[in-house]
Chain A
Amino acid sequence: MHLEGGRPPAGYDRHIGRKRLFLVALGALCALAFVLSISWGAVSIPPLEVVRALLGGGEPRWRMIVVGIRLPQALAALFAGGALSLAGVAMQSVLRNPLGSPFTLGISNAAAFGAAFSIIALGTGSMQSSAVNAVTIVNPWLTTGVAFASALVCMTVVLAIASVTRGTPDVMVLAGVALSSLFTAGTMFLQYFADDSQLAATVFWTFGDVSRASWRDAPIMGGLLLASFCLFFARRFDLNAIDSGDETALSLGVSAPRIRLEAMVVSSLLASVTVALLGVIGFVGLVSPHMLRRFLGSDHRFLVPGSVLAGGLLLLAADTAARLAFAPRTLPVSVFTAFLGAPVFLALIARRRRP
């Protein structure tokens, strides 16, 4: 069968052009937020000096603050936001559930339990009872590995429930509540047997905070984000097909169960690494894909790159606000994302109830 070639409508090119422009604007905003988040702080550095320092020039005193102190934190916010948001987009698609995200499905708390187990029981982190650097992860690979293993257990339960109940959003969120509670209880159980400094340390640690990121963490998070982005971007048409239902996907040559498993494993890994290195940061994976869908629809050709940029932007903005709102005290960024995310989450649930 061969169809005669027609000319694609001019309106379609404009439609695609607008979406591309939106991504470029989002990228520019992200770059601006990145520079400003480094610029603003206890010591204010002119944005131009920040750019100079990032390019390897400028005054040495600025360069020391920019590169030595603030850049790892800004990179962590950018990468963690991008990772959580990308995981959210992928989970929402393959579970066909608008309320899916690593946090709402319990995967973040499962990873936190795994990481806490690794830190307390396997000694992969050293602890001090101070709020700023409560836990220093000595062995990020083992901590992440155990967090990932725990997240995989949670993910398997999520997938099993999705397949048994056909995964209606309400059921999945209730399952997420149950799983989150279960793994949080597990973390509390570990804390119960921890000594005073371990207890204080793990409590501080469970507040997700990008300020504990070091130069060692950036390549791990950035590398994983890049690899996951490439995978999901290569799968952009498959994700669109799965949105239309498993049968439609299969009739288009897309094996939905295989892609679903792959996307859930990669999303769990993204969440686990973020949790293991920074703690639990909720709602970014839920909120940023929803903001994007208003502008980009459900087309993963744009949602996948957009989610990385929007998540990065959101967490950079939240982290900057968390540092400046009560200066000189800095709040963990997870407090801010919860303030932002919880109302959005409630609004999404309320909207589902409307006739």
Chain B
Amino acid sequence: MLTLTPVESAALLLSLRVAFVGTVCSLPLALAVAWLLARRRFVGQQLLNGVVHLPLVLPPVVVGFALLVLFGRHGPVGGWLYDVFGLTFAFNWKGAALAAAAMGFPLMTRAMRLSLETVDRRLEAAARTLGASRSRVFWTITLPLMSPGILTGAILGFARSMGEFGATITFVSNIPGETQTLPLALYAFTQVPGGDPPAFRLCVIAVIVAMAALFASEVMARRLDRSVRGAS
């Protein structure tokens, strides 16, 4: 039971890598967007807010198709990235990470924005009067105080990425070892006769991974919360 088959371990490792890379790479962008939405007032803010939230309300297949159009080798963004950086997303694990990041983005942004809105701006003002520049205030006051929200956002984004299916299969297809993440592998098993037992094993693996992630996040969140609340 504890030994994984090559297919299972490949799918699990790929899923973890895709979710991790997708979350970590989109985190700074999510933070920047959360900042824009929480702290700035500008024309088109509601439009930005809407675009950020689109993946949450659209069918994932639509997001996958949009990514295919935009980030394909001949797409407006994908073509440019290929020409300039030699980067391609089509039918490889990077594309899966991009799909995962797109789907997790609204959840991450939302959690960060909410925590940013609870940061006491009077503390930031106090730091300024003590001689701290805007950027020092951000790194030493704002960011630490919103760290529980950043963690929550990252966990939500990671969990969403681990479960991503529709956008991934549409954008980068279901290629074993390359783009076949855990949910895609599970889906593949359910499509062949006699695939139920291996599908069930993948289910259990998914549950174990999810529980471990939740447990780890709970421990970290408590520790962060205590340090931010200021009781020793």
Instruction: Indicate whether A and B interact.
Output: no
Residues of B within 8 A of A (CB): none
